[in-house]
């Protein structure tokens, strides 16, 4: 066990180095194409220097009613509302689907019908219900994130080894005690996988909703950049969305490792 730890760190170190090298190579190619040779016009793809300057400007100057931090904070707020609601309702529903077959038989057809409707198809209904508000975009995030929580939790609970369940019941545990003490800890890894997918789906759906109906947020920033013929602003919004998405995923993975630290072998796969 002790000898495997350095190897793990070595693999992580190599992954970090190769990842940094590929990112550096991308920036060099980008610079050559846009600055060194100008093979690509600035109106199509701004150079790294122009983009950095636009980042600095948007960080301190309002554009579309807010600076870059204000737009990012608005997007994160809406995303948080929608994802937390999806987790809060999706995980229990997934458990019930797996643990109570009659409940699953009654509600699964409705769930299967609704989960194949694209989140953006709900935007007109959300606008009619809530107007162009935070609730509208949070609802789109919820719809995008909810199915992953349900499906992966149901999968995790249904795949728990029946030997463990029977052993708990042999020792006198009731149905709900078995579920709480035996099944849920074993199914937690799959449930967290669903949360990670939900986080990603919700983030992407939010930006799409903001492009359509937002009055503030990173999606709105991109649409305003397009309306003002500012390709640099559009790329600032795109890069910020991608960077925040990576940071959110890293935070969820850290939380997963901390909460499920008793499953180190499984977590090494992520």
Both 153 and 181 in a single domain? yes
If one counts the domains in the chain, the total is 2
How confident is the model at residue 95, as a pLDDT? 92
Counting as low any pLDDT under 50, the low residues of the chain are 1-5, 265-270
pTM: 0.81
The CATH number given to whatever domain includes residue 106 is: 1.10.3720.10
Both 9 and 55 in a single domain? no
Both 90 and 150 in a single domain? yes
Both 18 and 152 in a single domain? no
Backbone angles phi, psi at 118, to 5 degrees: -60, 140
Both 183 and 255 in a single domain? yes
Both 34 and 147 in a single domain? no
For the stretch 239-252, pLDDT in tens is 999 999 999 999 99
- Interior/surface letters 149-183, b for 16+ CB within 10 angstroms, e for the rest: bbbbbbbbbeebeeeebeebeeeebeeeebbeebb
Both 174 and 222 in a single domain? yes
For the stretch 217-235, pLDDT in tens is 899 999 998 888 889 899 9
27, 132, 140, 150, 246 from 82: Cα distances, Å: 34, 16, 7, 15, 18
Q: Angle at CA 212, nearest 5°, toward 126 and 215?
A: 90
How confident is the model at residue 197, as a pLDDT? 94
Both 25 and 60 in a single domain? no
For the stretch 12-41, pLDDT in tens is 666 667 767 777 777 777 777 777 666 766
- How far apart are alpha carbons 115 and 5 in whole angstroms? 42
- How far apart are alpha carbons 91 and 192 in whole angstroms? 10
Both 11 and 124 in a single domain? no
Beta strands in 15-163 (DSSP E): none
Mean residue pLDDT across the chain: 83
- Match 């890293």 to its residue by tokens: 250
Both 1 and 79 in a single domain? no
Domain limits for position 19: 1-40
Both 34 and 70 in a single domain? no
Both 161 and 100 in a single domain? yes
């Amino acid at each position: 066990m002790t000898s495997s730890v350095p190897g793990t760190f070595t693999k992580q170190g190599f992954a970090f180095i190769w990842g940094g090298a590929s990112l550096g190579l991308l920036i060099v190619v980008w610079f050559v194409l846009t600055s060194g040779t100008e093979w690509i016009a600035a109106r199509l793809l701004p150079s790294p220097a122009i983009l950095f300057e636009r980042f600095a400007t948007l960080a301190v100057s309002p554009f579309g009613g807010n600076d870059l931090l204000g737009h990012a904070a608005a997007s994160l707020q809406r995303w948080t509302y929608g994802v937390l609601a999806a987790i809060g309702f999706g995980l229990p529903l997934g458990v019930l689907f797996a643990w109570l077959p009659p409940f699953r038989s009654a509600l699964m057809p409705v769930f299967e019908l609704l989960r194949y409707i694209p989140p953006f198809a709900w935007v007109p209904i959300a606008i009619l219900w809530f107007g162009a508000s935070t609730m509208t975009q949070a609802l789109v995030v919820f719809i995008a994130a909810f199915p992953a929580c349900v499906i992966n939790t149901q999968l995790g609970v249904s795949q728990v080894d029946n030997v463990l369940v029977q052993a708990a019941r042999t020792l006198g545990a009731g149905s709900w005690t078995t579920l709480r003490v035996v099944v849920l800890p074993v199914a937690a890894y799959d449930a967290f996988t669903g949360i990670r997918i939900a986080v990603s789906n919700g983030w992407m759906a939010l930006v799409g909703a903001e492009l359509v109906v937002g009055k503030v947020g990173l999606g709105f920033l991109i649409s305003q950049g397009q309306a003002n013929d500012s390709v640099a602003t559009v790329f600032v919004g795109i890069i910020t969305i991608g960077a925040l998405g990576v940071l959110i995923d890293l935070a969820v993975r850290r939380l997963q490792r901390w909460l499920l630290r008793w499953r180190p072998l499984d977590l090494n796969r992520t």
